[in-house]
Structure 1
Amino acid sequence: MDIKQVRCFLEVCSQLSFSRASQKLHLSQSALSKIIQSMEEELGIKLFDRSTRHLYITDEGKAIIPYARKLLLKMEDFMKVASEQYQTTTGHVKFGLPPVIGSSFFPSVIAQFRKAYPGIELEIVEEGSRIVEQKLLDGQLDVGVAILPLDKEKFEVKPIIERKLKLVLPNHHRFALQEAVNLNDLKDEEFLMFSRGFSLYDRVRDACIQAGFEPIVVQESSQWDFMIKMVSVGNGICVLPETVCEHVHLYNCTAVDLIEPVIEWNLALIRRKDSYLFSAMKTWMEFVSVSLKNQQENT
């Protein structure tokens, strides 16, 4: 059995269609069918039921899916090790980056890295922190940034940034002139929140519950600038990272400290615990750590 067979099997399971899977894999449908058939013959079991108009995964096929996923990850790591040239000047790194974190800290870091290491292809995948974590576990990313705390049994974690969240209000709001606001004082306010794929959704909601109330969420979004604009026209309030809050005055809004509780926003570079740390990935992670440390020292 080879890596191509395993990848094809998992794609057919995902799509439940040979035609859709063949398109995703850039194979002809007949070629894909032959690959699956040879895999079935090799294993001595039927993986799919093709006897009806719809494609079904057999019980035997379902039983091996989790093992096939693990095997694919191991095979991909093996290929990386086998092709490793023990140099840091070439390679391909898939990097998961939540949009808010990306816009706050990474534009200059990415530009400087690409200039310093033109032979390393850095592929940026923008997703919320929770999705970045899942894609790392699924082997779709090599390294990513996520919000602490994290499951250290699943991830290698390297803290890189310590910040906090602030309350964003329209300038005419009753709390806009205060230096700090107790979170419990916001129990009757309408909140604009990051979408549920973002750790910030959980972080803000959990803090509100800790303060004694369930937040009234009137809108979810993946875009911090959209939320600020909504706040500026009186459509609720929002809680954002302090780095983003540097821009709120441009929208006739004010950023105020939150207390009781203070909501921390601490970030880390993460990779899957059992993944192979190939040289291009190691180079990128070290570059990020040094660059962000320098950023913090200069602010």
Structure 2
Amino acid sequence: MNIKDFNVFITVAETRHLTKASKLLYMTPQGISKVIKNLENECDCELFLRTGNGMELSEAGRHFLKYANKAMEEYFDMRNELLRIKQKEHGVVDLLSAFGIVRLVTPECILDFKKKYPEIEFHSRECPDKQVERWFLAGEGNVAFSLAPCDEEKYDVSELSAFPVKLLVNENHPLSRKETVTIQDLRGEPLYIESREFKIHDLIVNKCREAGFEPNIMFETSGFSLCHKMVRENKGISVTVDFVSDDMGHDNMVLIPFADGDYEWKICMLTRKNETVGNGVDIFQKHVKEWMDRIREGDINR
């Protein structure tokens, strides 16, 4: 038996059906059945009970599942550890970035890094803030862009920049006439906001709850473009930061600052605590910090 066999077994155990498992594994039901039969022959016991409704684990199968899950977990731990060793030894940057941060840092920063250091292997992936930190904590990537707050017991954190979170409303909305707003102005308003996988969602929802009400969330989205569209059509309100709104355009919309506390979108660069970063990551961190300094000083236009 090998790690692929364990993966087939676990998938069948979870789906309880050969056809469903075949769609997930991109294998034929006959191929999956052969793997299961070989495992049963090797273990000299029946791992599944074939029923009219599908595949049910036998008592032996339930015990086998525990060992299969453990083997898969240890295999991926080993792969991640070997990958980290490779990254330190050979100069690899494997960046995990929350959506929107590369737009802020600017793609030119990444392109300039790759041009200056062609010997450093560079990879990057983008996903929501909380997914970045889950993956990073699980050992994926060797440097990350995320949003505060970040757990400083788990990560070494470098703050790169911060922007105020503002209310976005259509120019025909009554709130557009205000110079500043408070969280109470959101009470009862149809709100379009990024999903719970984004920290800006937690910021606004928690502020509303502290003020004694639940926000009237109409839709949670994985991208800001829908929020922007609904505000443009005056079907609701949203929250965002200046540079995102500027990039998307806001001819008939107004950004209004909050006046009742800290509403901040703060970007951070993370490495794992007590983990020696390779030379590639060290060079990348210095490059990003210097680039951000040049943006602040006006040498580079965002």
The answer to whether the superposition gives a TM-score over 0.5 is yes
**Correspondence for 1:111:** 111
Task: Determine the C-alpha separation between the residues in 1 that align with 2:243 and 2:179.
Answer: 17
TM-score (norm 2): 0.76
TM-score (norm 1): 0.77
SS at match of 2:177: coil
**Correspondence for 2:66:** 62
Task: Determine the C-alpha separation between the residues in 1 that align with 2:156 and 2:181.
Answer: 36
Q: Provide the aligned length of Structure 1 versus Structure 2.
A: 284
Identity across aligned pairs (percent)?
A: 22
- 2:140 matches 1:140: yes
SS at match of 1:157: strand
Task: Determine the C-alpha separation between the residues in 1 that align with 2:75 and 2:276.
Answer: 14
Return 111-120 or 166-175, whichever deviates more. Answer: 111-120
Q: Does the C-alpha gap of structure 1 residues 122 and 211 become closer, same or farther in structure 2, counting only changes over 3 Å?
A: farther
Q: Does the C-alpha gap of structure 1 residues 199 and 84 become closer, same or farther in structure 2, counting only changes over 3 Å?
A: closer
**Correspondence for 1:246:** 246
After TM superposition, the structure 1 = structure 2 runs for residues 156-167 of structure 1, keeping only pairs within 5 Å, are: 156-167=156-167
Deviation of 1:239 (Å): 0.6
Deviation of 1:133 (Å): 1.0
Deviation of 1:218 (Å): 0.7
Task: Determine the C-alpha separation between the residues in 2 that align with 1:36 and 1:296.
Answer: 61
SS at match of 2:150: coil
Deviation of 1:74 (Å): 4.8
Deviation of 1:10 (Å): 6.0
**Correspondence for 2:99:** 99
SS at match of 2:156: strand
Deviation of 1:21 (Å): 7.6
SS at match of 1:94: strand
Task: Determine the C-alpha separation between the residues in 2 that align with 1:67 and 1:197.
Answer: 30
Q: Does the C-alpha gap of structure 1 residues 85 and 188 become closer, same or farther in structure 2, counting only changes over 3 Å?
A: closer
Deviation of 1:115 (Å): 1.4
Task: Determine the C-alpha separation between the residues in 2 that align with 1:80 and 1:244.
Answer: 34
Task: Determine the C-alpha separation between the residues in 2 that align with 1:49 and 1:208.
Answer: 52
Task: Determine the C-alpha separation between the residues in 2 that align with 1:266 and 1:237.
Answer: 22
What stretches of structure 1 move > 6 A for 4+ residues in a row? 28-37
AA in 2 matched with 1:69: E
| CA deviation profile, 1:216-256 (whole Å, cap 9, x unmatched) | 01122222233112101111000112322334653410111
- 2:78 matches 1:77: no
Deviation of 1:263 (Å): 1.0
- 2:294 matches 1:294: yes
Task: Determine the C-alpha separation between the residues in 1 that align with 2:220 and 2:147.
Answer: 19
Q: Does the C-alpha gap of structure 1 residues 181 and 144 become closer, same or farther in structure 2, counting only changes over 3 Å?
A: same
Q: Highest Rg: 1 or 2?
A: 2
Return 69-78 or 95-104, whichever deviates more. Answer: 69-78
Task: Determine the C-alpha separation between the residues in 2 that align with 1:155 and 1:12.
Answer: 36
SS at match of 1:294: helix
Task: Determine the C-alpha separation between the residues in 2 that align with 1:31 and 1:283.
Answer: 50
Return 246-255 or 28-37, whichever deviates more. Answer: 28-37
| CA deviation profile, 1:63-107 (whole Å, cap 9, x unmatched) | 6746853663355324542x468564xx3x332222222323331
Task: Determine the C-alpha separation between the residues in 1 that align with 2:172 and 2:279.
Answer: 53
Task: Determine the C-alpha separation between the residues in 1 that align with 2:220 and 2:110.
Answer: 29
AA in 2 matched with 1:219: F
SS at match of 2:100: helix
Task: Determine the C-alpha separation between the residues in 2 that align with 1:212 and 1:106.
Answer: 39
- What is the RMSD of the two structures over their aligned residues, measured on CA atoms? 3.7
SS at match of 2:261: coil
Structure 1 gap segments, 5+ residues each:
none
Task: Give yes or no for contact 1:159–1:269 (8 Å, CA) kept in 2.
Answer: yes
SS at match of 1:226: helix
Task: Determine the C-alpha separation between the residues in 2 that align with 1:119 and 1:277.
Answer: 17
